[in-house]
Structure 1
Amino acid sequence: MKIVHVASYNYLKDGQSYYATDYKIHQGLVRNGHFVYPFSYRDTARCANIFGSKKWGVGKTNKRLIETCRNIRPDLLLMAHAELITLETLHEIRKMIPSIKIAMWFVDPLWANHHIANIHSKLPALDIFFATTGGKLLQQFKLPTNQVAYIPNICDSSIETHKNFEISDLSIDFLFCGRDYKEPERQSFLVETYERLIFCNSRFFGCLGNPLIFGHDYMDTLGKAKIGLSYNRRNDVSLYMSDRIVQLAGNGILTFTPRIPQMEILYNEDEVVYFNDVEDLIAKVAHFTSDDDERRQIAYKGWKKTHNSFNSTRVTQFMLETIFNEKYSAPYEWHSEVF
């Protein structure tokens, strides 16, 4: 097929986030045998005016997307977030190409009002909406005219390349990379965790006054860690988790995560380490920093599950089979979250 993929891509950031989901979905679609044209909608908007403003480039961006579809005549228009793309543009594209499928994927929180408004603004033109959140928050976008479906966070073997389970002498015992968002409960959890990890070499980036790291620096740091924490902005939402989980587990890092509702669909107890609270987290970190063999065994199983089940080729194949109403070619663990 021919696919136009409307995503961030962030070309103007010079590869700073080359491990983003945009690229993983792009590569998965290509590996499945399709032509994928990258339409970097935010960069297009910024380059459409001398001030580099997304807001002032909205009109030209929508016109260029229509012209792109006119030139390529894609079978599928796949969008990521696409907050700058209007419903009128999608209707114009469908009018021009009646047989086209239009789908959207989303990885940000589905409880934020501005995200909800953006998604609703596109729904009348969508055949299907995908999100890395399941349950009721996903089902709120179900209309009689469309489908909604869960997708897991995606790894890619060309991006998640480390195998830390093979290495004993890693220099970082415990790693967390992520913003604290100035949210009191999240900050409190991270502060207490940091203060109680005095018995090991812990590193925190993007929070507690520490800067974020990107690009090679981020991936290089992942390659030095024994244990990594995946901690979400909310931990009570069905199947919702940060993409950190695949960046950690996919690099062979022993991954710690709160017990997210329904998460056992994706990871078994022997593939990641679930914890209940700070007390439980600290006790388990102490255990696994002193038992390196068990750390490596569980990290290996988590790495294997991540690369076997949540790789870009398999997840995008699921997306395409759902979009085109084809029989599923694999027993996708999350198939029950299609509505």
Structure 2
Amino acid sequence: MPKAKRIFVIADFKDEKPWSICIEERRLVKSLIRLGHDVQRFSHRNIMMQCSPFPSKRIARRFGRKKSNEVLLKQVKYYYPDIVIAFSMKYLDAETVRAMRELVPNAIFVGRDGDPFPEKFPARIATGKEMDIIIMPSAGRFLQIYKEAGVRCCAFIPFTCDPDIQYRFEVDDIWRTDMVFLGAAEHTRLDRNYERYELAKRMSELPNAKVYACFGRPKSQGMHSFYAISGAKIGLSINIANDVRLYHSDRFINIPACGTFCLAKRAPGYELLFEDEVHLKYFDTVDEFFELAEWYLKHEQQREKIAMAGMQRAHNEFNCEKIARHMLDLIETGAYEAPWAEIL
């Protein structure tokens, strides 16, 4: 894409929250600009909250949506983008996408769904059907759902890291620990993953481990998320679903990107992203995780060698600028070059 494009990005940028600093959407917008394109960002939920007379997010979706959609359509009309990317389709609906298409009939529309189990959100699938391209940090059955819904192009695009602010930090003692897990032990909208719950629960009870955002522990905020990872000798990566090809959360990239040795629950296709015992170490059961953790805590040289190789791999292959370039190649040509590329 040698010519600069006008790219309209719709997402929940969480502008009122300190963790907006480390979200995926921020990294990708930064990268699109670095690649020479003009980007107009629209933080859908924030605008919706501003348009609602009530502070509740749930109520705002009812009372603020109409006005926020009017603002959205007006911005699209006067920006006249070449590309519209909905990094979050949560607050969009199919009718609004069709209205945008009428305003910019030549634009390419891209939707991203980063959540597991899309079949549980039929309204989001209906919105996705209106897109030219759907991207997900998973392949397998999650991606197939959108293809079967009629989306022309469905592609796996992994989570990213930003080497500018993700590397191994020298941290204060408050962040230092043997093991760390960042994330909810379970999600209220989804069935409990008992392995993930048990791992987080057992770690929360250990004196040499820290957990964040579960079992009453506070969520890490902004750069503190990266400090928490950097301060640990071992980081735990486990998804809410671990049987779907290539599906992963941002932990899977964030942990090695911050120079911490990653113990990751194995999922189909993962060796295409990180090689076992080279960039990280995979485990299959809860007991195996703790056995491996004990071994690697006693073998610093092996642990550090893998951690450094993992950081280099994350920075080289999954840095946000490179992944944004893959996205643009996909939009321009319908394909991109990577050993883990999967396009339906």
Provide the TM-score with structure 2 as the length reference.
0.89
Deviation at 1:243, TM superposition (A): 0.6
Q: Partner of 2:239 in structure 1?
A: 232
Q: Partner of 2:343 in structure 1?
A: 338
- Of residues 272, 293, 318 in structure 1, which corresponds to 2:301? 293
1-structure distance, mates of 2:144, 2:92? 23
Q: Partner of 1:33 in structure 2?
A: 36
1-structure distance, mates of 2:88, 2:164? 24
1:277 paired with 2:285, answer yes
Return the letter of the residue paired with 1:247. N
Q: Which runs of 5+ in 2 are unaligned?
A: none
Deviation at 1:77, TM superposition (A): 0.5
Tell me if structure 2 keeps the 8 A contact 1:163–1:253.
no
Tell me if structure 1 keeps the 8 A contact 2:118–2:125.
no
2-structure distance, mates of 1:121, 1:131? 16
Return the letter of the residue paired with 2:52. N
1-structure distance, mates of 2:236, 2:179? 8
List structure 1 segments (4+ residues) > 6 angstroms apart after TM superposition: none
Deviation at 1:163, TM superposition (A): 5.6
Deviation at 1:136, TM superposition (A): 2.1
Q: Partner of 1:47 in structure 2?
A: 50
1:150 paired with 2:147, answer no
Deviation at 1:194, TM superposition (A): 4.9
- Of residues 218, 223, 234 in structure 1, which corresponds to 2:230? 223
Deviation at 1:130, TM superposition (A): 0.2
Return the letter of the residue paired with 2:236. L
Q: Secondary structure at the match of 1:175?
A: strand
Tell me if structure 2 keeps the 8 A contact 1:45–1:55.
no
Deviation at 1:302, TM superposition (A): 0.7
Tell me if structure 2 keeps the 8 A contact 1:193–1:282.
no
Deviation at 1:325, TM superposition (A): 1.6
Deviates more, 1:35-44 or 1:22-31: 22-31
The 1:160/1:194 distance shift into structure 2, 3 A limit, reads: same
Give the superposed CA RMSD. Answer: 2.2
Tell me if structure 2 keeps the 8 A contact 1:157–1:311.
yes
Q: Percent identity, aligned pairs only?
A: 26
Query: Deviation per CA, 1:274-331, whole angstroms, max 9, x where unpaired?
Result: 1121221112111211111111110011111111111111111111111122664xx4
Return the letter of the residue paired with 1:36. V
The 1:96/1:112 distance shift into structure 2, 3 A limit, reads: closer
Q: Partner of 2:99 in structure 1?
A: 92
User: 1:196-275 alignment to 2 at 5 Å?
Assistant: 201-269=208-276, 270-275=278-283
Tell me if structure 1 keeps the 8 A contact 2:20–2:26.
no
1-structure distance, mates of 2:16, 2:72? 19
- Of residues 12, 17, 20 in structure 2, which corresponds to 1:8? 12
1-structure distance, mates of 2:308, 2:169? 8
2-structure distance, mates of 1:85, 1:187? 31
Deviates more, 1:142-151 or 1:94-103: 142-151
Q: Secondary structure at the match of 1:54?
A: helix
1:68 paired with 2:75, answer yes
The 1:137/1:16 distance shift into structure 2, 3 A limit, reads: closer
Q: Secondary structure at the match of 2:22?
A: coil
Return the letter of the residue paired with 1:188. E
Deviation at 1:132, TM superposition (A): 0.7
Q: Secondary structure at the match of 1:16?
A: helix
2-structure distance, mates of 1:112, 1:95? 28
Say how many residue pairs are matched. Answer: 327
Provide the TM-score with structure 1 as the length reference.
0.90
Deviates more, 1:68-77 or 1:138-147: 138-147
- Of residues 4, 19, 22 in structure 2, which corresponds to 1:19? 22
2-structure distance, mates of 1:239, 1:23? 23
Q: Secondary structure at the match of 1:257?
A: strand
Q: Secondary structure at the match of 1:280?
A: helix
1-structure distance, mates of 2:215, 2:339? 36
The 1:106/1:326 distance shift into structure 2, 3 A limit, reads: closer
The 1:126/1:136 distance shift into structure 2, 3 A limit, reads: same
Deviation at 1:88, TM superposition (A): 2.1
Deviation at 1:50, TM superposition (A): 2.2
Return the letter of the residue paired with 1:27. K
Return the letter of the residue paired with 2:47. T
2-structure distance, mates of 1:38, 1:44? 11
Q: Secondary structure at the match of 1:17?
A: helix
Tell me if structure 1 keeps the 8 A contact 2:235–2:260.
yes
The 1:131/1:100 distance shift into structure 2, 3 A limit, reads: same
Q: Secondary structure at the match of 1:324?
A: helix
Tell me if structure 1 keeps the 8 A contact 2:153–2:334.
no
